[in-house]
Amino acid sequence: MSRTNVSADAKQWILNRMLAGAGSDQVVAELMAAGWQRKAATDALAVVVAENPRARVAVAANDTPAEGMPEPGIAQMPLSLDAGDREVQVLIEMKSPRVVVFGNLLGADECAALIEAAKPRMARSETVNRQTGEYQIDVARTSRGMFFQRGESELHLRIENRIAKLLNWPAENGEGLQVLHYQPGAEYEPHYDYFDPADPGTPALTRRGGQRVASLIIYLNTPSNGGATTFPDVGLSVLPQCGNAVFFSYPQPQPSTKTLHAGAPVVAGEKWIATKWLRQRVFA
């Protein structure tokens, strides 16, 4: 379909996609998938960029290759890594999806301290409303949780700096730790951690720090049974062990990263975890 005139609705859609993190090639491809001819799609994109300063900022950011990704230094397959104030074991490494399981990331005392600090502030866990970008209660997530502010205490600073060194990613590019509590039967159904660029609520979520590019799930206790972190696309299950953690990254907000994951139901006992989400830029 050839479109020589760009409607206000089309301009707004293009702007929203760019603010959500879509690069020029992705926007053009999506327009073509909707029936536009390549020249019309390219011209429409150019009109939006020329007319809107926010679009110019977005295209400059989105079309510039990211300067690396969070990634532990395990090219030489070491058995452990220096995380600044402690040695962290490397237990499992997978290329696709990019998954690394760490041992001894936190000490038992640090795990217990995080749990105790979180307990008074726990509430029913929420998920992101994909239409509005706001958080809401969802039946797919049956845990209880809370968010710490980044650097909220000496304990948080110590853990955040340890994670930054381990993953070679600035501490300020991370969200505050989220602590979650799962009782028997509680679970989190399969989901992605990135914000889907196609969702209307994504621009509101990416204004602070850009897209999420990686996740780190830290196990704060060891359940009696169940509670694994599962990756259905590749048949991987990571069993929760106190102080261990699973890291996975997703360079593009797309299912092709194979980072669909879930928190399997707790069968016996309880499960406490702390999740750290890493952003493209400073999260403020």
- Measured CA to CA, the distance from residue 146 to residue 266 in angstroms comes to 19
Cα separation values, 6 from 14, 34, 197, 199, 200, Å? 10, 14, 21, 22, 20
pLDDT, tens only, 146-169:
999 999 999 999 999 999 999 999
> Whose CA is closest to 245, among 208, 274, 211?
274
In this prediction, residue 202 carries a pLDDT of 85
**In this model, does residue 1 exceed pLDDT 50?**
no
Q: What is the pLDDT of residues 175-206, one digit of tens each?
A: 999 999 999 999 999 999 999 888 888 888 88
At residue 3 the predicted structure's pLDDT band, cuts being 50, 70 and 90, is: very low
DSSP 8-state class, residue 141 = B
Range 80-279: architecture per CATH? Sandwich (2.60)
* pLDDT the model gives residue 131: 62
**Domains in the chain: boundaries:** 8-62, 80-279
What's the whole-number mean pLDDT along residues 225-242?
98
- CA proximity to 227, closest of 263, 262, 193, 260: 263
Longest dimension (CA), the chain: 65
Note the pLDDT tens digit of each residue in 244-259.
999 999 998 889 899 9
Q: State the average pLDDT over residues 2-28.
A: 81
In what side-by-side order are the strands of the sheet with 178-182? 80-82, 87-94, 98-103, 245-249, 212-219, 271-279, 178-182, 144-147, 123-124
pTM of the complete model: 0.76
Q: How many CB atoms lie within 10 A of CB 87?
A: 13
